[in-house]
Amino acid sequence: MTLKLTAEQCDAIDQSNGPIPVEDARTHRTYYLIDEATFSSLQNERDIEAIHAGVTDMEAGRVISLDELDARIQKRLELHSR
């Protein structure tokens, strides 16, 4: 589902260079409107940070064997060992 922006939101986007805060009138939670390019950039940054964290863990010896990983996954999914 794709929602349509209100005229007020479009005006705010036109006047801004960054995310636009939008408050939910019912819950008073704040959300942010960002364009697709910014969203993709943020996703890429998050993915890169996760990769760097994984490499850091590997270099520090914080790893497990593939068999241990398989056992943990099967335990979590309540499957039997192969």
Q: pLDDT tens digits for 37-81?
A: 889 999 999 999 999 999 999 999 999 999 999 999 999 998 765
Q: What's the pLDDT score for residue 56?
A: 96
Query: SS3 letters for the chain?
Result: CCCCCCHHHHHHHHHCCCCEEEECCCCCCEEEECCHHHHHHHHHHHHHHHHHHHHHHHHCCCCCCHHHHHHHHHHHCCCCCC
Categorize the per-residue pLDDT at 82 as very low, low, confident or very high, splitting at 50, 70 and 90.
low
Q: What's the pLDDT score for residue 54?
A: 94
pTM (predicted TM-score): 0.56
Phi, psi angle pair for 63, to nearest 5° = -135, 165
Position 27 pLDDT exceeds 80: yes
